[in-house]
Amino acid sequence: MAVRQVNEKEWTKDGRKWIYEVRYKDLFGKSQYKGSKKFHTRKEALKEERKFLDSLDTSVAVADMTFKELCDKHFNYQRDKVKVTTLRNYNKRRQHLEMFDNIKLSQLKIEHFEAWKDKINELGLETTTKNDLYKYLKCILNYGSKWYNYNFTSLYNKMTNFNNPNERPKEMKFWTKEEFDKFIAVETDLRFKAAFETLYYCGLRSGELRGLTWDDIDFDNKELSVNKNITVNLDGKKYVVTTPKTNSSYRTIPMPDILVDDLSKLRQMQDNYYEFNDEWYVFGSYEPLGKSRLRERKNKDCKLAGVKQIRIHDFRHSCASLLINNGANITMVAKYLGHTKIDETLNTYSHMFKNKLDDIVGTINRLNNK
């Protein structure tokens, strides 16, 4: 392997003079030679040489590869295979794995893992968050096993996830219908009023709400369609339009009359805007409503109404509570919220079904007392 400058007579007219040369054995053990095209600088040639080496057969483990190098390779590999939201989560979790960065993969031991675990336990994170980090660590190691032939079996057999038997489940915040009525009564801007009603009555995620365009609203059938999501871009852009969270998140759901009326009024207002069309965002214009603006407005209205502060995502929990406590079928609740499985709905909102279980016992008692 070598990067070198060619003879001056071989320089191109625009000054490209650097090449790389690689001799290697292919998948079948046959010797091969690769001579590159010319590059302007040695740095460019080195970069392209590295790309070529990475593209070669990786059936033999790279003995000197560090954990950091594997992380970088995993991230680059995933760039065109997962959503931008997943890449963003990788970046958030990556900082918690930096303890491993300089360790060679061939030398990675259970002692490294246990020391990392102790460090993470000092951060005061929730157990679910810590186990998300653990899953990400295993995801990277699995990538190393698959593509670089590393054997982490002995390490895997000793690794355990995080567990705190004394940790109390985090209380889920939501509003009753009375609390929501009190909150919405202070909102004077029709756009925000309709946005909060959509969150509360339809159980949309924040990105789903912000991604709604007017062609997603069917006034004739009183339905709205969820088919896209707005999220922050990794490259610093204000937002990016992606697909919904899962395939089940694609859904068409009915709207209550109060929401239909307010959206109809909002549509009439926007009809007067210059260059308005059905591809405009319902709660924005040609660009979606900013996430921070929605949150700030919610905080302001909570104070004015004198109700407890909840997150934007808690409107979704409030919708689930509203449906469950008014007799909605669990299968329909799961479909309405866009959950992949009914188990997801049950696990998330199991505490809300307590009253329904009491109702079942009450029904049995009434039958026996006849």
Task: Give the pLDDT confidence of 292-348 residue by residue, as tens digits.
Answer: 999 999 999 999 999 999 999 999 999 998 998 888 888 888 999 999 888 888 777
pLDDT at 324: 87
Q: DSSP label at 231?
A: E
Tens digits of residue pLDDT in 144-156 = 999 888 999 999 9
Which strands sit side by side in the sheet containing 2-5, from one edge to the other?
2-5, 18-25, 31-35
pLDDT at 365: 63
pLDDT band at 356 (very low <50, low <70, confident <90, very high): low
The answer, yes or no, to whether residue 255 has pLDDT greater than 60, is yes
Residues 306, 187: contact at Cβ < 8 Å? Answer: no
The answer, yes or no, to whether residue 12 has pLDDT greater than 60, is yes
Mean of the per-residue pLDDT values of the chain: 88
From residue 293, give the alpha-carbon distance in Å to each of 165, 180, 225.
39, 19, 23
pLDDT at 28: 59
Distance from the Cα of residue 195 to its chain's centroid: 22
Q: What is the mean pLDDT of residues 242-254?
A: 92
CA dist 191 and 197 (Å) reads: 10
- Is CATH 3.40.50.300 what the domain over 177-360 is classified as, yes or no? no
pLDDT at 355: 57
The answer, yes or no, to whether residue 197 has pLDDT greater than 60, is yes
Burial state string for 268-286 with b = 16 or more CB within 10 A and e = fewer than 16: eebeeeeeeeeebbbbbee
Helices (H), the chain: 42-55, 67-78, 84-94, 110-121, 127-148, 153-156, 177-184, 190-202, 206-211, 257-270, 291-305, 314-324, 330-337, 342-349, 354-368
Percent of the chain with pLDDT over 90: 58
User: Which one has a higher pLDDT value, 123 or 239?
Assistant: 123
CB atoms within 10 A of CB 235: 7
What are the domain boundaries of the chain?
A: 2-55, 67-156, 177-360
Q: What is the mean pLDDT of residues 254-266?
A: 96
User: Which one has a higher pLDDT value, 192 or 275?
Assistant: 192
Q: Which class is domain 67-156? A: mainly alpha
From residue 240, give the alpha-carbon distance in Å to each of 93, 234, 268.
21, 9, 27
